[in-house]
Amino acid sequence: MLGVAALMPTVAKAAGSDWVRTEQTQVRLISAVDGVGDSRTVTLGLQFRLKPGWKIYWRAPGDAGFPPNVDWNGSANLGDTRILWPAPHRFDVSGLSTIGYKNEVVLPIQATLDDAGKALAVKAKVDYLTCDDVCIPYTANLTLSLPPAAARPSVEAPLIADAMARLPHTAGADSAVFLTPTLAEIDAPGGRVGEQAVLLSVVVQARQKLQKPDLFVEHPKVLVAEPPSIRLEDDGRRAVITSVLVGDKLRAAALTSSDLTLTLVDDHLAVEGVVRATTGAMPAAAPGGNGTRLWSVLLIALLGGLILNLMPCVLPVLSLKVMGAMGHGGSAPGRVRAGFLASAGGVIASFMVLAGAAIAVKQAGLAVGWGIQFQQPAFIAFMVVVVLLFALNLLGVFEIPLPGWLAESAVAGEHRAGRSELAGHFVAGAFATLLATPCSAPFVGTALTFALSRGIPEILAVFLALGIGLAAPYLLLAVFPRWAARLPKPGAWMVTLKKFLSLALFATAIWLLTVLMGAAGDNAVAALVVAAVLMSALLMSRRHIGRAAVPAAVVAALAAIVLPVVLTSTAVPATAAVEGRWHRVDPSRDIAAQVKQAAAGDKVVLVDVTADWCVTCQVNKRLVLNADSVVQRLADAKAVWLKVDWTRPSDPIAQYLAANQRYGIPFNIVYGPGAPQGIALPELLTIDLVLEAIDKAAGKS
């Protein structure tokens, strides 16, 4: 019989007080375990059952009411206690907005024992208010004892576990929801307490679609938080929530100097963030409600695309543009116009492909950003192969056309007649765009922020405008073809020019290999180099090898693209936590939390979001961030330098950028006691701008 008893499963025991009943409510104290075990902590729960229509209140009750309050006097072996609050609901009755719970709720309680392993005797005096058409205060006296036995789950454990699952998650990377608050002072609404009110607007960026979100605001100086107005955008993944906060002579400065607690609740979502708000302009209206806003962004996108022609990112394709222009020398105006229109078509087509990719990634619920194609080994390897083909073409390796698309790509920029020539110009324009857009530029970031935070029509419209802007030089020459026709006619001198310009493309291939090194590792780079060298050798010696050279070169090109993907190292390369003056953040963890930790103690923090593939990032660092005056000013401020490396895909980094309304890099921001929410800097840095931001963040201006 003893053997049989030993094999029987342990039956969970009840661990709860008696119910204290009123006409409207029932309340009792429960425990997740039936014994204290060896732990110093025990999870308890305050369970309420309410008749239909009656409610109790959340920790911030709203316009009226008060939350349950527990007096633990008389308890034995009970130290600290902390009540946890599941996601509440808003109730609006007769113009009053209150926050709380209906039907049934368990408030989890984290209890600490004075002596681990000893019996726990709890006495709880619970004062609470329950309301329907009228409000009735009640007091319940509850007792609960737990023996010094093994801490097995009790019968009530699932009730507490369910309540714990309803607790709000921390806003940020863990919940994929970001809360960005802005404040502005307004006149107090009539009939409200206080002489001053503050308008709070919170931009919510969420990975999943929001349905009917609500926002609850907590701050010691806020007496009343009006029910918010809510505007959903970007197919529900972005919300602008605006609420009026009222207090005794409330000022925005009083709210920016300390933390706000914001709790966002939706149908199946609850997140909570302790944040610092900033004063400034309210978020712009949705494009659907304000056509002028969309048109202004499209003009900004056009200007940004035009400026992109001058960015360091386009330097690798300068040789292609030069050869494209020189190849039109002496040609008929109609032929020149067709060639430049084909190049512009390639540019715009590339932007529409990028738009489609952005839409697909976003619809899949993944992080989307500008230039993230350079995080993919397959894309980088493909670009290396195509760059080499262009370089070999400039060296005269392709004296006869190759089959299919490879031929049209290789002869892009050459002076050939008919469809092959136009296809070459189109492919050259498309390729130049893909290679020239790993970095952001002035106005590009503004346009992309607008587009990527909204819906499909806005994304397509903005990317089209960016493409037209980047293609503007081609379009201008298409309108005035005689400008290009006046260039010297192609001749023997172009052979020397081609060889010189091919060096820029070979240098570009080497740069792309360094990018691939960071994205995929040593083995991937080695495999690509071997396959690419083999491809080049086959093409250069095809006259000796015969017809088999070209198919073999195609196979080698495909191997150069596929092998780096197969051999990509999934492990993050081992890097020092400190590189000179730079401290690297962990790209797998919440970036905002790491920044906040670095800024603890009112420190000034300079954040540089960069990547190996971002040419503009490297230019900013070399010319501005490493300038003696900037280094000295940061040293005087005892600043922390934080490097956020986005060379490889990282959701926390993408989410950090999105929380700061950015979708591309370079991105630099300075935090400090004078700017707890940070001062975001433009894409192209200047020494004066950085010095001004450092002084302001340090509280000197």
Give the rounded percent of residues in the chain with a pLDDT score beyond 90: 26
Q: Are residues 446 and 561 in the same domain?
A: yes
Q: Which residue has the higher pLDDT, 325 or 139?
A: 139
Sorting pLDDT into bands at 50, 70 and 90, what band is 579? confident
CB neighbour list of residue 148: distance below 8 Å, 6 or more residues apart: 35, 36, 117, 118, 119
Q: For residues 589 and 571, what is the distance between their CA atoms, to the nearest angstrom?
A: 16
- Structural domain includes residue 4: no
Task: Quote the number of domains for the chain.
Answer: 4
Q: Are residues 307 and 424 in the same domain?
A: yes
Q: Is the bond preceding residue 666 a cis peptide, omega within 30 degrees?
A: yes
- Structural domain includes residue 5: no
Q: Are residues 490 and 541 in the same domain?
A: yes
Cβ neighbours, 10 Å, residue 92 = 11
Q: Are residues 375 and 262 in the same domain?
A: no
Mean pLDDT of 339-343: 79
Give the rounded percent of residues in the chain with a pLDDT score beyond 70: 76
Residue range 150-170, pLDDT digits in tens:
889 999 999 999 999 999 988
- What the block records as the tokens of 394 is 């400039």
Q: CA torsion sign, 319 to 322 to 326 to 328?
A: positive
Whether the predicted pLDDT of 326 surpasses 60: no
Q: Are residues 428 and 399 in the same domain?
A: yes
Say what the pLDDT of residue 283 is: 57
Q: Which residue has the higher pLDDT, 358 or 124?
A: 124
Sorting pLDDT into bands at 50, 70 and 90, what band is 409? very low
Q: Which residue has the higher pLDDT, 109 or 241?
A: 109
Closest CA to 124 of 81, 60, 67: 81
Least confident of 109-118, 189-198, 284-293, 305-314: 284-293
Type of residue at 119: A
CB neighbour list of residue 458: distance below 8 Å, 6 or more residues apart: 287, 294, 450, 451
- Provide the residue range defining the domain that includes 690: 578-697
Q: Are residues 416 and 549 in the same domain?
A: yes
CB 218 within 8 A of CB 60: yes
Last-in-domain residue among 514, 536, 566: 566
Closest CA to 206 of 234, 176, 241: 176
Backbone angles phi, psi at 397, to 5 degrees: -65, -35
- Structural domain includes residue 3: no
Sorting pLDDT into bands at 50, 70 and 90, what band is 506? confident
DSSP string over 165-222: HTSPEETBTTTTEEEEEEEEEEEPPTT-SSSEEEEEEEEEEESSPPSS-EEEEE-TT-
Sorting pLDDT into bands at 50, 70 and 90, what band is 449? low
Q: Are residues 470 and 328 in the same domain?
A: yes
DSSP string over 462-506: HHHHHHHHHTHHHHHHHHSHHHHHTSPPP-THHHHHHHHHHHHHH
Whether the predicted pLDDT of 253 surpasses 90: no
Residue range 628-638, pLDDT digits in tens:
999 999 998 89
Say what the pLDDT of residue 293 is: 58
Q: Are residues 152 and 66 in the same domain?
A: yes
Residue range 272-298, pLDDT digits in tens:
988 877 665 555 444 443 443 567 778
- Structural domain includes residue 573: no
Closest CA to 221 of 205, 237, 197: 197
Backbone angles phi, psi at 509, to 5 degrees: -60, -40
- What the block records as the tokens of 483 is 């400008």
Q: Which residue has the higher pLDDT, 301 or 669?
A: 669
- Paired with 186 in beta bridges are 197
Q: Are residues 141 and 180 in the same domain?
A: no
User: Can you give the CATH number for the domain in which 202 is found?
Assistant: 2.60.40
- What the block records as the tokens of 484 is 């290009």
Q: Are residues 552 and 588 in the same domain?
A: no
Whether the predicted pLDDT of 191 surpasses 50: no
Q: Which residue has the higher pLDDT, 676 or 414?
A: 676
Say what the pLDDT of residue 536 is: 87
Query: In the 8-state DSSP scheme, what is residue 54?
Result: -
Burial of 656 (0-12, 13-18, 19+ CB in 10 A): buried
Burial of 315 (0-12, 13-18, 19+ CB in 10 A): middle
Closest CA to 308 of 137, 471, 509, 531: 471
Last-in-domain residue among 250, 279, 308: 279
User: Can you give the CATH number for the domain in which 598 is found?
Assistant: 3.40.30.10
Task: Label the pairing between strands 640-645 and 582-584.
Answer: parallel
- Structural domain includes residue 571: no
Say what the pLDDT of residue 643 is: 93
Last-in-domain residue among 227, 249, 279: 279
Q: For residues 164 and 156, what is the distance between their CA atoms, to the nearest angstrom?
A: 13
- Structural domain includes residue 592: yes
- Structural domain includes residue 66: yes
Sorting pLDDT into bands at 50, 70 and 90, what band is 255? confident
- Structural domain includes residue 284: no
Type of residue at 509: A
Arithmetic mean of pLDDT over the chain: 79
Q: Which residue has the higher pLDDT, 147 or 452?
A: 147
Q: Are residues 160 and 177 in the same domain?
A: no
Q: Are residues 408 and 552 in the same domain?
A: yes
Mean pLDDT of 324-337: 57
From residue 564, how far is each of 471, 516, 558, 575 by CA, in Å?
A: 32, 9, 11, 21
